[in-house]
Chains A and B, each alone.
Chain A
Amino acid sequence: MLHFIQRARTADIRVQIAIGVVLVAIAIVAPLVTSSFVISFFALTFPLAILALSADMMWGEGRLVSFGQGLFFAAGGYIGGLVLIGQQYDVSGSALSFLSEDTQQPLMDRVLQQLHDLAIAGVPIPALILPAMICGVVGLLIGMIVFRVASPEVYFPLVTLGMGVVGGLWFNDLSNVGASNGLGGIPSFTAEMGPQQDPIYNYMFNLAFVIVAFAGWAYFRRSRRGQIWRGAGDDAIRLEALGYSVRRQRVLAFGASAALAAVAGALYAGTSGFMGPSIAGVAFSAEVLIWVAVGGSGRVLGPLVGVLVVRWGQQFLSSNLGLQQSWQLFMGLALILVVVVAPGGLLGIRIEPLRKRLFERGEIKA
């Protein structure tokens, strides 16, 4: 039965690989012909694409919408940022700390310094591994609680919504990471490799992660485990009857999704040099869902397309048309439009009669 599903729902593997190779080739050659503004735009967008992918891991296959991805993204960014800096946020500035009588560094700072020095080829690897581990474990724990409920497709979004609100407030109050100011001055992952001003280093570093994440996801979808995970979203009761634990699938998927979001957050913090508490809030998490909805949930490239289209649109509207103020309004309208008119997103638009889609019952399907 699983073999049948695979044939029915995924495109020809050769076509997929060909598309992937062409995209990677374009991404590697593109910096040679574009301006450094475009390069830094993409360098900053790549971590967001990984974040969108982490949301679609839950949504596209498992039919579970998470309003808490931004929380894991921010947590990952803060943890990664602290390791990259090598010490906690210090309001007084480093110069003043010599004046205080207590010259002993706090334990937290010493640990962070140790982690910072565990670099491989100049890249502080713990800044990527630690966020993934911490957020992954938190995701598993929350998942173990949340997925006890009877209809998680309704309750999971609501619980993650609450998580996002609580997390946003908490980071806004946490002085170790700069509270409402946010954590600034985070050095880049590629700081040791070359001049910071050149965005090409960040671009290539983040591109590598995007390629690994999306290729890995495409591979996973075709694997046996990937098909079981898709089965959990398509028909949980039938999968349960086949002998699989749907709850176990969901818990593991949420842990993996949280870990991936955290890695994306660490990359983002390293690229932008800043992580703030508003990223942890629900508004940002909902924006992530808008990217996925616009691109098309349940498709490998959906999150990537969605992020690029929405972020480019934002850039275009605010710089060319001076509509920075009403950007939010456009996002809201776009979300309504996508949900009602094109549930499959940009990649899912087909030339079926629109009316049939509007009045059909059932969930959004890819």
Chain B
Amino acid sequence: MSVGNGAGNGHPATLRLKLRIWRQAGPDEPGAFLDVDAHDIPEDCSFLEMLDIVNERLIEDDVEPVTFAHDCREGICGTCGVMINGRPHGPEKATATCQLHMRKFRDGDEIVIEPFRAAAFPVVKDLMVDRRAFDRVIESGGFISAPTGTAPDANEIPVPKDVADFAMDAAACIGCGACVAACPNSAAQLFTAAKLGHLNVLPQGQPERWRRAEAMVETMESFFGSCTNHGECTEACPKEISLDFIAVLNRDYLKAKVKNRRLASQT
């Protein structure tokens, strides 16, 4: 698309969409779809801005606006995320809901919008879910214990570039939960593996490696379903976190069970 100086191009193209939006008053309330005729939606607006427009119109009509989680709107905070026509974050690959733009849809399209669905992510209201189970997984071991003040000079621990890059690939996870929503078992292997893959390969992460692997995997299993290698998680991931990290998780967990048991028997 070429961009002129604006002359004769003052009105961006718009769409008319048939929306089916999930509404649910609270965690224990029944839910149902609200049908919305969304007309005059600018192609250039984002998916969440489209919901903003819908909400403004609902308010005009004295209907309570649709609740949806969102914050940074630049694809990094991980707050937003809905099922769009059955896919977490919608049709565009490697794109969080807030970065999906309406030009990816066609005039007249029907769009079904639902919350992420998983037992570990109860619905708070409408499209908003509670993902606190992720925090419990991190609290169980997703850290390197380095109390403030104890650190040696940063260059005293060299990290080979390929190791640092591998760790960064994993650490790019934004914790949005699309992996869980995409999984037929609602497993959280990709989320957990992203943190284990980040910390367990770094030299700084070695002292707690086996304890971390066992604790995080077992905490994860207390909230989420089991992984059966569908690979839907990585397809849905807005940061394209690789399935390879799940291999790291499985290997480290297995080793950890043996090592930790041996350690336990010695005490």
A and B are interacting partners: no
